[in-house]
Structure 1
């Protein structure tokens, strides 16, 4: 691959991390981006690289495997590889509610319950994943798609409580709801709960199981609920375009694509990359429990604008993306704490690399293991080069 193609590939990799999608339609470059991610600076870069991007995408498309097509439903429908992995974990009975995905929506204004119910039911009818159960036939897990149904919408009225009591009770209700487990063989992988805080204030708690959703899916769900509700209160039909495929179609396509030489190539790469990988020996304050508890927390912080600007400058100078530079810095930090030279970090990717699946609710997210050898008294610049190389290979 020549230098110009490598530069474009790196730029597209950075856009993928921002969940920005580019494609060619009628010989024109189109894009789709989550709200707030397409900055004027990024848009200008896309315009400047437009010719090279189109040429690169055409080159890639010429080698692209066949498109995903709908398949008949009168056959056994396999699970995707991601679903099979999660199904196996669920069958051990050790995951508890770890794979529940809560979506908490704050509704302000007079609520039309009939319109809300209709809006939820339309989403369930639109996305087969939300009405899919799982079973085993001769030891092989399969998807069992149910016909559309009316989603139960339980309600709790907290409006009569004092503010402090209401806040406490609200948190307890949300926690209790999230702790409930799904029986994937019987229950639909979606639950909802409506909590009334006042005459014009409600909390809608939507809980999805990860086997039927991911972070991207939560955004799709919220956007469709808003559009459906707006249409319902105005007594208008839903304007959502028909989905070209469903998740089960993707699962069948994936099974057909990842076999033989394609599968072996992927396996050979990862086996070589991850062989004899040592466990990271972080100096934690408590030993790792024998049975995983899934207890944890998140820590959020903002980098100062000046530091962010300098990081972007370093990235540009080294031909890397900002993600690669931050990952290199994180790996150096892990090396400092452990003195280990072989460092692997799991990185989630949206994995929505085909237009047919961008509007689907389903489990597409994947984790890539980014391995880097920090040996040889490498400088940070050298570490960044190694991280950059691994990132390009992994994608």
Structure 2
């Protein structure tokens, strides 16, 4: 699409990223659902089209579409970023720094359990198995990583395209599993089975058929080849290919023009240039004065002493009224909704660790470029968010300060947590599982997928396959506007009762923030009931 003016280019980037058909200059970024990820994507599009030096902070501080247009019209051109070059799918593929680290870790003897990313959909209605088989083949053809395996040479790890390692659909007719509980148990068991990443395939797609009108589709892939974002892309592509197969008899999906290898080469090119130098300087300053790998003494014994990585979820919901108050607070004080939720979780970590300097691990989809938006693979990576707010400020001041810190980190996300670890702790970055033992993230729950008018696909809950964090907080939007709080915990590190106490402590803090956002932190924590005794003992 051609755009004649700077304003047209900015408006189009805003429309595409925020999924807005009609836009107005007075539209506020945060009111239109904008967050740090969409700010990055808008910045990347504008940078490419206009060759201007734009950051995530620029998008957010502009506040409105009109403000962003005004900034762009008065900006100065800089060198355009290098393009991502497509080089085909055959042969050996480069791997990204974060994937390289994971492959080195996979070679170590202490890693006996693989981390699996899985999604399961219960299919009810008129299921056409031939069409589903065609859809699976079309999607595997589209995404190169589903036909790869990994290898290791003297020069380091690599991926190789191997048709023998191709993921295929396996249909299992199991009439004895018509009972819902038995069917779900069989799917859950299959969802955590390991893969041999050196021989392939890297995943499995299985259809558990209990009756002619009821089945469960399981998509399970080793995390080294698949991230959480990939599950949504894969389900969307499977559903579209299935509809096409039903209507035309052929499920055709255009192969992705670019591969993970193309991204890896482009990423290394960025890191070897001026941008890479700026990124390394930022992260040295951002993490100065803290050893984010080892400053969590309460969790130190867990990180490598665990005999297994089995875990479970503990779940609770915040009322719709309180959830909405917190979401509106973000707009009122001009911070992202993510920063509000993350700040609430940081109060849990701050109290538990008894320190004002808290760093948490989060993840970024790492798909800011248009070439990578629809790619399946391990593109996401860890990001460290640091909060160093001292004293006893109000929660709103605390969230605003954290928002600035978080946005600066997101604005420098091209240097992955693996890159940061290798730079700051070269002798330990392979041995340590994560830069921080505390993890927080906000995501969208897997929703129903539209396969066809006569086939309903509803998500099935699956157990976690691998828990390598001391404390993992996850928040999603639930029904009727309620925020769903989840704690993922390792059985060796934390009992179910302790995990529940952590969860309810977190929920109580959120309730107090919804009621009194201007209260001081000490007041909020006191009103939430104080740190439960069993949490201190963990």
- SS across alignment from 1:348: strand
- SS across alignment from 2:169: coil
Question: Relative to 1, partners in 2 of residues 1:148 and 1:235: Cα closer, same or farther, differing over 3 Å?
Answer: farther
**CA–CA separation in structure 2 for the residues paired with 1:223 and 1:335:** 39
The equivalent residue for 1:30 is none
Question: Relative to 1, partners in 2 of residues 1:227 and 1:267: Cα closer, same or farther, differing over 3 Å?
Answer: same
Per-residue deviation at 1:252?
1.4
Question: Relative to 1, partners in 2 of residues 1:16 and 1:299: Cα closer, same or farther, differing over 3 Å?
Answer: farther
1:235 equivalent in alignment to 2:248 = yes
The equivalent residue for 2:356 is 341
The equivalent residue for 1:103 is 119
Q: Pick which of 114-123 and 299-308 moved more.
A: 299-308
Residue 391 of structure 1, aligned match among 403, 406, 414: 406
User: Could you tell me whether the CA contact under 8 Å between 1:131 and 1:145 is conserved in 2?
Assistant: yes
1:125 equivalent in alignment to 2:138 = no
Alignment deviations for residues 30-85 of structure 1 (CA, whole Å, 9 cap, x no partner): xxxxxxxxxxxxxxx9xx93333455678699665122120256775310122112
The equivalent residue for 2:318 is 303
The equivalent residue for 2:365 is 350
Per-residue deviation at 1:243?
2.6
Question: Relative to 1, partners in 2 of residues 1:67 and 1:352: Cα closer, same or farther, differing over 3 Å?
Answer: same
**CA–CA separation in structure 1 for the residues paired with 2:143 and 2:159:** 14
**CA–CA separation in structure 2 for the residues paired with 1:212 and 1:195:** 23
The aligned runs of 1:24-43 (5 Å cut-off) are none
Per-residue deviation at 1:282?
5.0
1:198 equivalent in alignment to 2:211 = yes
Per-residue deviation at 1:319?
2.1
- SS across alignment from 1:221: helix
Per-residue deviation at 1:207?
0.9
Residue 208 of structure 1, aligned match among 194, 214, 221: 221
**CA–CA separation in structure 1 for the residues paired with 2:238 and 2:92:** 31
- SS across alignment from 1:301: strand
Gaps of 5+ in 1: 1-6, 28-44
Question: Relative to 1, partners in 2 of residues 1:151 and 1:77: Cα closer, same or farther, differing over 3 Å?
Answer: closer
The equivalent residue for 2:233 is 220
- SS across alignment from 2:224: helix
User: Could you tell me whether the CA contact under 8 Å between 1:96 and 1:181 is conserved in 2?
Assistant: no
Gaps of 5+ in 2: 1-26, 50-59, 411-538
Q: Pick which of 251-260 and 352-361 moved more.
A: 251-260
The equivalent residue for 1:377 is 392
1:167 equivalent in alignment to 2:181 = yes
Question: Relative to 1, partners in 2 of residues 1:337 and 1:118: Cα closer, same or farther, differing over 3 Å?
Answer: same
Residue 113 of structure 1, aligned match among 116, 123, 129: 129
The equivalent residue for 1:15 is 35
**CA–CA separation in structure 1 for the residues paired with 2:402 and 2:361:** 13
Question: Relative to 1, partners in 2 of residues 1:380 and 1:205: Cα closer, same or farther, differing over 3 Å?
Answer: same
Alignment deviations for residues 292-346 of structure 1 (CA, whole Å, 9 cap, x no partner): 5222223333322332333234323432112112212222232223321211111
Per-residue deviation at 1:255?
1.6
1:51 equivalent in alignment to 2:58 = no
- SS across alignment from 1:141: strand
Question: Relative to 1, partners in 2 of residues 1:388 and 1:64: Cα closer, same or farther, differing over 3 Å?
Answer: farther
**CA–CA separation in structure 2 for the residues paired with 1:131 and 1:213:** 12
The equivalent residue for 1:265 is 278
The aligned runs of 1:266-285 (5 Å cut-off) are 266-275=279-288, 276-277=290-291, 279-282=295-298
**CA–CA separation in structure 1 for the residues paired with 2:148 and 2:359:** 35
- SS across alignment from 1:211: coil
User: Could you tell me whether the CA contact under 8 Å between 1:121 and 1:150 is conserved in 2?
Assistant: no
**CA–CA separation in structure 1 for the residues paired with 2:308 and 2:314:** 19
TM normalised by structure 2 equals 0.60
**CA–CA separation in structure 1 for the residues paired with 2:327 and 2:263:** 37
Question: Relative to 1, partners in 2 of residues 1:174 and 1:75: Cα closer, same or farther, differing over 3 Å?
Answer: closer
Q: Pick which of 288-297 and 329-338 moved more.
A: 288-297
1:77 equivalent in alignment to 2:93 = yes
Per-residue deviation at 1:237?
4.0
The equivalent residue for 2:449 is none
Per-residue deviation at 1:100?
0.8
The equivalent residue for 2:343 is 328
The aligned runs of 1:124-163 (5 Å cut-off) are 124-147=140-163, 151-161=167-177, 163=179
**CA–CA separation in structure 2 for the residues paired with 1:84 and 1:230:** 37
Report how many residues are paired.
365
1:364 equivalent in alignment to 2:384 = no
- SS across alignment from 1:370: strand
Per-residue deviation at 1:20?
10
- SS across alignment from 1:356: coil
User: Could you tell me whether the CA contact under 8 Å between 2:178 and 2:210 is conserved in 1?
Assistant: no
Question: Relative to 1, partners in 2 of residues 1:200 and 1:383: Cα closer, same or farther, differing over 3 Å?
Answer: same
